[in-house]
Amino acid sequence: MHMLDWIVIGLYFVILLGLAWWVILRTKNTADDYFLAGRHLGWFVIGASIFACNIGSEHLVGLAGSGATDGVTLAHYELHAWCVLVLAWVFVPFYARSKVFTTPEFLEKRFSPKNRLLLSLISLFAYVLTKIAVGIFAGGVVYSALLPDASVDIGGIHLDSFWVGSILVVLLTGIYTVLGGMRAVAYTEALQTFILILGSAAVTFFGLKAIGGWGQLREVCGSETFNLWKPLVPPGVEATWSPVEVKDAAGQVVKQAWYFNTNYPWIGMLFCAPIVGLWYWCTDQYIVQRALAAPNETQARRGAIFAGVLKLLPVFLFIVPGIICFALAKSGMHGLHDDLYTDGQLDRLKAQAAYPLLVQHILPVGVRGLVVAGLLAALMSSLAGVFNASSTLFTIDFYSKFRPKASQAELVWVGRMATVAMVLISLIWIPVVRGQKGLYDYLQTVQAYLGPPIFAVFFLGVFFRRLNASGCLAALVVGFALGVFRLAIDTPVALKLAGFENGYPSGSLFWIVNKMNFQYYSVIIFVVSALVMTLVSYATRAPDYERIRGLTYGTITEGDRLETRRSYNWRDIASTALVLCVILAAYLYFNG
């Protein structure tokens, strides 16, 4: 880092904090304004904000790292931009009509208050395990890669550059999030989106220049690196179901079973990835809160479509730079070999720093400062979004229920304190994240355990009016229990606690669950949740259809249909078609 780089980074913070302060001065001390920006966000800010809060640490650190180790395999998740279109065309009309603050509140209107409280609890639990902890962890990875010698001693406790960076990212983000609420988060995210895109595009450009161009990159890495399908479908489609060798600590094969496939099998990608994607983009408060802040259905839909357009970029902004870093290291260029390899083998843990390593080694002075600003923008926007979503869930879905007469100022104060509490809890979980094989892998596995039951109750609840509150509650309880069961089994192994260094005794139930491919387990959770919801609903009384009018396709009135039809035009349809065509083109191109 040179002086010019620090000047660029300083300018970024001046502009960011200046914008945040301008917004804070205009923020009213009311729940509606603090949590939903007074429902005045336009489509441009909504789309940019959705993209910014999505593109966070898991992409800068985890997705680029996966590009270095696995090529374009995980681009499957990023090409799920079509899931945002489902939010735009399927769920936005229901959310707009219901005028809710949170997605759990929608579940209350569709089913019952118990379902709302349980979903809020699950969401807060998921945020600690995924978005907040991962964001803090990534901040530490980026900081330690750029300033490896930074450390501090506090009260006899030595904090290395990783912990210093993690804590600094939290403090800087927390200041304007706590003070400005949703309005400050949304407007700063809109700014951060374009800093992020510009900086990441610079990394891709200078990275390709360093390796010798796109053709040279493909030659060094091999065609399989750019094949979306081969890693998923080994020779012969039936290979997904073929026995997979599992070895014990002594290296002996102790079990063979199809469900131990440790890659990203095509069956898992075909079913699990869309389940997780639709849960995340259509029902997660973290994303949907931006659409809820729109003044009407038109702005919410267009914001979601715009987010879908932006979502097409990460493959080239993050995965490709990761591949470039691997190619440079493999070729021994720019001194990157030892940064990614250990004893001649590609080190998955070291690969998590692929993106910041590129920033450090190939970018010219000045541009490096811009890209570091983009790194910080992504880390901070992702954290700011989840901080605000967490405080909204806790305040609106819990605190306001127990204190219905609380003043607007009191609700805002509680929301701010909830943010602080979530950060402290997340710091405790960072060692678990740090022990995983890859940041993006960790994120996908945890979401795969917690998302399926939520996806089931929202989608089945909207499409089938006969399903009732009892079925919804049973599905959430059973599905959440299955997910937590898997997490409880995996955690001691991930931490390598005493007695778990080599996992569980071979052949035991815990051993089978721990070894099972996470995508297969995720599909099982969804199927069980859907069956439980359906069976319990039909075994109990049908819901009051008049009470849920407008909340399911079976109870929509003609007036609702006309209102939705008037909320879009041919431009919205054309934009949607464009996104789908680009996704199809990407799948056709990345075939080896």
Q: Tell me: the pLDDT tens digits for 114-146?
A: 998 888 888 887 777 677 767 777 666 666 666
Residue 538 has pLDDT above 90, yes or no: yes
Q: In this structure, what token pair is assigned to residue 541?
A: 């009384």
Q: In this structure, are residues 325 and 114 in contact, taking their beta carbons and an 8 Å threshold?
A: no
Residue 234, token pair as written in the block: 């080994």
pTM of the full structure: 0.79
Strand 341-342 versus strand 345-346 pairing type:
antiparallel
> Where do we find the tokens 């001691």?
492
Identify whether the C-beta of residue 282 lies closer than 8 Å to the C-beta of residue 91.
yes
Q: Residue 156: enclosing H or E segment and its boundaries?
A: none
What average pLDDT does this structure show over 86-115?
90
Spatial CA neighbour of 107 closest among 279, 303, 302: 279
Give the relative orientation of helices 354-362 and 320-330 as an angle to the nearest 10 degrees: 70
What's the CA dihedral at 562, 566, 567, 571 to 10 degrees? 140
Element (H, E) at 143: helix 133-146
Fold held by 3-433+441-589: Sodium/glucose cotransporter (1.20.1730)
User: What is the three-class DSSP state of 467?
Assistant: coil
Count of C-beta atoms within a 10 Å radius of residue 262: 11
pLDDT higher for 177 or 518? 518
On whether the CB atoms of residues 96 and 304 are closer than 8 A, the answer is: no
What Å distances lie between residue 447 and 49, 97, 122, 277, 574, CA to CA? 21, 28, 11, 9, 32
CA 536 to the chain's CA centroid: 31
Q: In 3D, which of 110, 137, 112, 32 has the Cα closest to residue 353?
A: 137
Q: What is the pLDDT of residue 122?
A: 84
Q: Which residues pair with 154 in a beta bridge?
A: 157
- The more confidently predicted of residues 223 and 56 is 223
Q: Are 277 and 263 in contact (CB under 8 A)?
A: no
Question: Rounded to whole angstroms, how far apart are CA atoms 353 and 65?
Answer: 7
Q: Any idea which residue has 């080190």 for tokens?
A: 347
How high is the pLDDT of residue 13?
80
Task: Report which secondary-structure segment, H or E, holds 21.
Answer: helix 3-25
CA angle 537, 107, 302 (to 5 degrees): 125
Distance CA 25, CA 324 (A): 44
| Phi-psi map region of 406: left, alpha, beta (phi>0 left; psi -120 to 50 alpha) | beta
Percent of the chain at pLDDT > 70 equals 78
Beta bridge partners of 153: 158
pLDDT in tens, 50-90: 887 777 656 666 778 878 887 787 777 778 888 899 999 99
- Scanning the structure block, which residue is given the tokens 């010798």? 212
State phi, psi for 236 to the nearest 5 degrees. Answer: 85, 120
For the chain, the helix, strand and coil percentages under 3-state DSSP, each to the nearest 5: 75, 5, 20
* CB distance 507 to 254 below 8 Å: yes
Angle at 405 between CA 402 and CA 407, to 5 degrees: 110
The two structure tokens encoding residue 428:
């405790």
User: pLDDT tens for residues 394-403?
Assistant: 888 788 877 8
Helix (H, G, I), strand (E, B) or coil at 134: helix
Higher pLDDT, 370 or 481: 481
Average pLDDT, the chain: 79
Least confident range of 76-90, 431-445, 572-586: 431-445
How many CB atoms neighbour CB 484 within 10 A?
15
Instruction: Report the chain's terminal Cα–Cα distance, integer Å.
Output: 38
What is the C-alpha to C-alpha distance for residues 206 and 324, in angstroms, rounded to an integer? 10
Q: Pick 93 or 160 by higher pLDDT.
A: 93
Q: Of the candidates 523, 522, 514, which has an alpha carbon nearest to the alpha carbon of residue 491?
A: 514
What is the rounded (10 degree) CA torsion for 59, 64, 67, 68? -150
DSSP characters over 363-399? PPTTHHHHHHHHHHHHHHHHHHHHHHHHHHIIIIIII
- The larger pLDDT score, comparing residue 75 to residue 159, is at 75
Tokens, residue 169: 């990212």
134-171: burial string, b at 16+ Cβ within 10 Å, e else: bbbbbbbbbbbbbeeeeeeeeeeeeeebbbbbbbebbe
Nearest Cα neighbor of 93 from 560, 467, 546, 456 is 560
- Residue 574: pLDDT band (50, 70, 90) is very high
431 has pLDDT over 70:
no
What per-residue confidence (pLDDT) applies to 237? 40
Q: Cα–Cα distance between 426 and 137 in angstroms, integer?
A: 10
In this structure, how many other beta carbons lie within 10 angstroms of the beta carbon of residue 495? 14
- The band of 32, judged by pLDDT with boundaries at 50, 70 and 90, is low
Residues in the chain: 592
How confident is the model at residue 149, as a pLDDT? 66
DSSP state for residue 91 in the 8-state scheme:
I
Asked if 68 contacts 351 with a C-beta cutoff of 8 angstroms, the reply is: yes
Dihedral angle, C-alpha 345, 359, 322, 429, nearest 10 °: 80
Most confidently predicted of 123-127, 217-221, 433-437, 580-584: 580-584
pLDDT of the residue at 235: 44
Mean pLDDT of 328-342: 78
Determine the pLDDT at residue 34.
Answer: 67
- pLDDT on residue 155: 66
For the cut 50, the answer to whether the pLDDT of residue 301 exceeds it is: yes
